Amino acid sequence: MENGKEFRLLSFYKYVPVKNPAELQGTLLQYCMDEGIRGKIYVAEEGINGNISAPIEKARAFKQFLRSDERFSDVLFKEDDIENFVHPKMFVRIKKELVNLGLSKVSLANGGKRLSPEKLLDFYSSGKEFVIIDTRNTYESRIGHFKNALTPGMTNFREWEKVVDTLEDYKDKTVVTYCTGGIRCEKASAYMVERGFSDVYQLDGGIITYVKQLPDTVWEGGVFVFDDRKALEPNTREELKYTAACHHCLKPTAHYINCHNLDCDKIIVCCHNCTEEHQYCCSEDCKTAMRKRPKIYP
Ligand SMILES: [Zn+2]
Ligand SMILES: [Zn+2]
């Protein structure tokens, strides 16, 4: 590879009935262990959601392998070239639901209309009146979000129902929901439609797809990701690079850590310097806590 990136990151999801999640779990785990693939895959009766890293050839073979199962023959992969594995190991876990909306059951058939990245940019540049809502958690939206987005400040996706209670004013407006890769919006937008919102869109392919196609436009800051890279920094325009400041020194950054005091474990925005200097902790108290993780790793 010319760019020196000989590994590939694949992320994918599909909502499709899986009758026997344990069987699928076994098959996937076996394949990935045999092939030396790393990452995390979740299997539920409602479908599959995965994020894996592997040498490019192995990643290609994995795509074929998954698509050879007819339930996943049309699964879409988001791909990124990377320099090395971005996961420490491989696991495949069974979940009750891929994303848990809480009490409500929605029909995915009611999901919002799919909005491509280009169309979303059109919405912005044409001056269209619309509301754009972040369906992710606070710690994700803090390091980056779409321009003028509502970031409701959830600690968990299960709070989405309560968030929607506060959005009544937008029932007759154009609403766009977005999340990292699209999986949460399928449910979040369906829930809004079922609650009577009249013009609901979901960003197709999520933030990941958007920033790849249209960096330096209306995405501001970093993108929180759930692998060792922690955050992507898609923009080169200085004023679009960061939306958050380091917890300790207030310098703009998209880097974050989990506080290494296990009884705290808070996610904080923290620049690289302060991460070292404060020993992966959010406060002096956490630094000297009994249950501080003994090992510091990058
Ligand atoms: Zn700092
Ligand atoms: Zn702490």
Q: Which fold has domain 108-221?
A: Oxidized Rhodanese; domain 1 (3.40.250)
For residues 160 and 166, the answer to whether their CB atoms sit within 8 Å is no
What pLDDT is attached to residue 4?
81
Which pLDDT belongs to residue 158?
95
- Beta strand pairing status for 131-134 and 174-178? parallel
The rounded Å distance from CA 231 to ligand 2 centre is 20
Query: Cα angle at 237 between 236 and 239, to 5 degrees?
Result: 130
Q: Give me ligand 2 centre to Cα 264, in Å.
A: 5
- Is the pLDDT assigned to residue 294 strictly greater than 90? no
- The segment(s) of the chain belonging to CATH 3.30.70.100 are 7-94
| pLDDT greater than 80 at residue 295 | no
Determine the Cα–Cα distance for residues 200 and 190; give it in Å rounded to an integer.
9
The answer to whether the CB of 274 falls within 8 A of the CB of 246 is yes
Rounded mean pLDDT, 182-207: 98
Residue 287 CA to ligand 2 center (angstroms) comes to: 8
Q: Could you give the count of Cα atoms lying within 13 Å of 257 in the half-sphere of its Cβ?
A: 25
Residues 6+ apart with CB under 8 A from 137: 154, 155, 156, 157
d(CA 166, CA 163) in angstroms, rounded, equals 5
Q: Residue 253: nearest ligand to its CA?
A: 1
pLDDT at 106 over 60: yes
pLDDT at 2: 57
**pLDDT value of residue 297:** 55
- Residue 77, strand partner residues: 12
Q: What is the mean pLDDT of residues 195-222?
A: 98
Q: Ligand 2: distance of its center to the CA of 104 in Å?
A: 33
Nearest ligand atom owner, CA of 264:
2
Kindly state the percentage of the chain with pLDDT values over 70: 98
pLDDT tens-place string over residues 124-173: 999 999 999 999 999 999 999 999 999 998 999 999 999 999 999 999 99
Choose among 233, 229, 179, 298: nearest CA to 7: 229
CATH code: domain 7-94 is 3.30.70.100
271 CA to centre of ligand 2 in angstroms: 15
Nearest residue to 38 via CA among 24, 21, 59: 59
**Which ligand is the nearest neighbour of the Cα of 251?**
1
| pLDDT at residue 262 in the model | 95
pLDDT at 104: 82
What tens digit of pLDDT does each residue of 231-246 get? Answer: 999 999 999 999 999 9
Q: What is the enclosing helix (H) or strand (E) of 196?
A: none
160-175 as b/e: b if 16+ CB within 10 A: beebbeebeebeeebb
Catalytic residues: 179
Question: Dihedral sign, CA of 42, 47, 53, 55?
Answer: positive
Distances (CA, A) of 32 to 5, 40, 229: 21, 10, 21
CA distance 76 to 292: 40
H or E segment at 205? none
**Nearest residue to 81 (alpha-carbon basis) of 22, 159, 20, 2:** 2
